Amino acid sequence: MRYKPQGHLSEIRRVDPRKLVDAGDSGLIRQNGDHVDLHALLTENSVSVRLVRVCTNSMRPSGLHQGGIAIVDRGKPTKDGQIVHVRYNGDEIIRRLRKRAGQWFLVADDPRIDDLFISDEDFVEKLGVVTAGIIFTTS
């Protein structure tokens, strides 16, 4: 039985580019011919969304693969358990926000990566909440 961390995979929507067809000037269409509005599909029409390149595999079990793209909504409030994009002491990172015993941590899915404790001395700026991930595959 494979270990599946609670809340992973289900909360990050994935888009499989192989199921979309490039229709040239008409944009992308589904295989059945329906047009696709990628903005609506990935961002729920939010105007506060940005695309962020994923630089590590630290959140791979949640669907954020190195070389892929994270869809980050700057307008969503953060909650315990969400995957967030933050600037932590000058470095931009994507981690899961966790609260334990009244303390906040930034936690990677990869158990080999240490949790980052957020102390009063740390500079942490919320850049947004990750709402979706795009994985690029080779055919």
- Reported as a single tens digit per residue, the pLDDT across 114-133 is 999 999 999 999 999 998 88
Under the banding of pLDDT at 50, 70 and 90, the label for residue 88 is very high
pLDDT in tens, 50-62: 888 999 999 999 8
Q: How far is residue 80 CA from its own chain's centroid?
A: 15
For the cut 80, the answer to whether the pLDDT of residue 37 exceeds it is no
90-98: average pLDDT: 95
Domains in the chain and their CATH numbers?
13-134 (2.10.109.10)
pTM over 0.75: no
- CA-CA distance, 11 to 65, in Å (whole number)? 15
- CA-CA distance, 25 to 22, in Å (whole number)? 9
> Is 9 in contact with 63 (CB distance < 8 Å)?
yes
